[in-house]
Amino acid sequence: MSRPALLLVAHGSRGPRHAATVGALAARVRSALPGVRVRVGHLDFDAPSVPDALARLYGEGVREAVAVPLLLTRAFHAKTDIPAVLTEATRHLPGMEVRQADVLGPHTLLVTALERRLRQAGLRPEDTSSTGVVLASAGSSDPEAIAVIAEIAREWRRTTGWCAVRPAFASAALPRTAEAVHALRADGARRVAVAPYVLAPGRLPDRIAAGAHESGAEVLAPVLGAAPELARVVAQRYTEATASRFRAGSPPAEAGLLAATAG
């Protein structure tokens, strides 16, 4: 029996950098999951859309797929947008079953990727104890997502020895990146590094970068992008979703199963 296809569900962006980064990540995932059909579908702006990507898989004979949200926290898109889009798309594809996998974060591999990005930006291991880090995410109006980012910051500080780690948000929540940088300096950090906890370039990552520059942060890491750690997390989420059988009769919101019915 062939393995389910993997649909990477990306947010999409008006700028071309986002789609290029997601495409590079998809290539890494294909290498990590040989024999699995890997496709990308976008919620907005870019093509193909999620329904179009599923329709193409269906036309290739695929009847079972796992949708992995390219999201770092479980917020509105994961809880509402993606299930609704998948439900509507599969309604028009008789016999097609799609399981929504868990979001990518939190995960220790993502913190490993953040640290590697900071090293790439010039931060040395011997600088750790004198450096305050801003964990800068896109932001969300969902309290659960905000709490997750705050917990990642606390755990990162506890396990790595940064002098401090503060969360910051590019939208929907406070503090902003520049405010977090200033707060770290007020707390005595000799050096401040900004680690964007975002997947791909775009408007909100640009806002994070602007805040880092205007506040004088010494180090600004690149976005996570097509990091090998990220590809490994995607592969793990796919494997977790395929390890459990599709449960007929379970509500989609609970089981993650979206099954099309004929007629």
What are the start-end ranges of the H helices in 10-104? 16-32, 50-59, 76, 82-91
Q: Return the CATH number of the domain spanning residue range 5-104+227-259.
A: 3.40.50.1400
Pair type for strands 164-169 and 191-197: unpaired
Q: Where are the domains of the chain?
A: 5-104+227-259, 122-220
Query: What confidence tens digit (pLDDT) does each residue in 167-217 have?
Result: 999 999 999 999 999 999 999 999 999 999 999 999 999 999 999 999 999
- Is 48 within 8 Å of 59 (Cβ atoms)? no
Query: What confidence tens digit (pLDDT) does each residue in 57-116 have?
Result: 999 999 999 999 999 998 878 898 999 999 999 999 999 999 999 999 999 999 999 999
What is the phi/psi pair of residue 141, to 5°? -90, 0
pLDDT at site 76: 79
State yes or no: pLDDT of 165 exceeds 50: yes
Neighbours of 107 (CB within 10 A): 19
State yes or no: pLDDT of 254 exceeds 50: no
The H or E element spanning position 118 is helix 108-120
Query: What confidence tens digit (pLDDT) does each residue in 117-149 have?
Result: 999 999 999 999 999 999 999 999 999 999 999
Establish whether domains 5-104+227-259 and 122-220 are of one fold: yes
Q: What is the distance of C-alpha 5 from the center of its chain?
A: 19
Neighbours of 171 (CB within 10 A): 13
Burial label, 248 (beta-carbon count in 10 A; 0-12, 13-18, 19+): exposed
pLDDT at site 85: 96
Query: Could you tell me the sign of the dihedral formed by the alpha carbons of 119, 106, 240, 52, in that order?
Result: negative
Compute the residue count for the chain: 263
pLDDT at site 1: 58
CB crowding 117-145: b at 16 or more within 10 Å, else e: bbeeeebeeebbeebbbbbbbbbbebeeb
Query: What confidence tens digit (pLDDT) does each residue in 38-73 have?
Result: 999 999 999 999 999 999 999 999 999 999 999 999
CATH label, 122-220, candidates 3.40.50.300, 3.40.50.1400, 3.40.50.150, 3.40.50.12160: 3.40.50.1400
pLDDT at site 136: 98
State yes or no: pLDDT of 262 exceeds 90: no
The pTM for the full model equals: 0.90
- Is 82 within 8 Å of 10 (Cβ atoms)? no
Non-local (6+) Cβ contacts of 125 within 8 A are 119
Query: What confidence tens digit (pLDDT) does each residue in 29-41 have?
Result: 999 999 999 999 9
Residue of 2, 39, 83 lying closest to 254 (CA atoms): 83
